[in-house]
Amino acid sequence: MFHIYCPYCCEYREEEEFHAAGQSHIARPLDPDACTDKEWGEFMYFRANPRGIHHELWVHAAGCRQYFNITRDTQTYEIKEVYKVGEQPTVVANNAK
């Protein structure tokens, strides 16, 4: 069971209150009309799936209902940091592209 710190409520709450919403920092193509099928497919369907450090979007669904980011290790499940939408992570994988 995770205890997750909500950066908006400024409190630790149980995992049950939250919902994971997938990879964070996915930029929508600026000019969708100019995308190739490959670029569009990649935006739609391809997500990072690292064995290790992962940046993901969570929502405090049963709390303040705000979205925020978590950096988490997908192997040890350790939550490295929590940061607001619009902010950048400070913990990144060594081999990150």
Partner 1 sequence: MQHYSGFGLLKHSFSHHENWQRVWRNPTPKKKYDVIIVGGGGHGLATAYYLAKEFGVTNVAVIEKGFLGGGNTARNTTIVRSNYLWDEAAHLYEHAMKLWEGLSQDLNYNVMFSQRGCLNLGHTLQDMRDIQRRVNANRLNGIDGEVLDAQQVQEIVPVLDCSDRARYPVLGASWQPRAGVARHDAVAWGFARGADSHGVDLIQQTEVEDLIIEDGTVVGVRTARYGEIRADRVGCVVAGNSSVLAKMAGFELPLESHPLQALVSEPIKPILDTVVMSNQVHGYASQSDKGDLVIGAGIDGYNGYGQRGSYSTIEHTIQAIVEMFPVFSRVRMNRQWGGIVDTCPDACPIISETPVKNLFFNCGWGTGGFKATPGSGHVFAASLAKGEMHPLAKPFSMFRFHNGALVDEHGAAGVAH
- Please state, in angstroms and rounded to a whole number, the distance separating the CA atoms of residues 35 and 40: 6
Instruction: Please tell me the count of residues contacting partner 1 according to CB under 8 A.
Output: 25
Contact stretch for partner 1 (CB under 8 A) within 5-13, 27-35, 71-79, 86-94: 71-79
Q: Establish if 3 lies at the interface with partner 1 (CB under 8 A).
A: no
Q: Which two tokens stand for residue 83?
A: 């940061």
* Residue number, 76 or 90, with CB nearest to partner 1: 76
- Please state, in angstroms and rounded to a whole number, the distance separating the CA atoms of residues 85 and 2: 20
* Residue number, 28 or 38, with CB nearest to partner 1: 38
The helix or strand, by DSSP H or E, that contains position 72, with its residue range, turns out to be strand 67-73
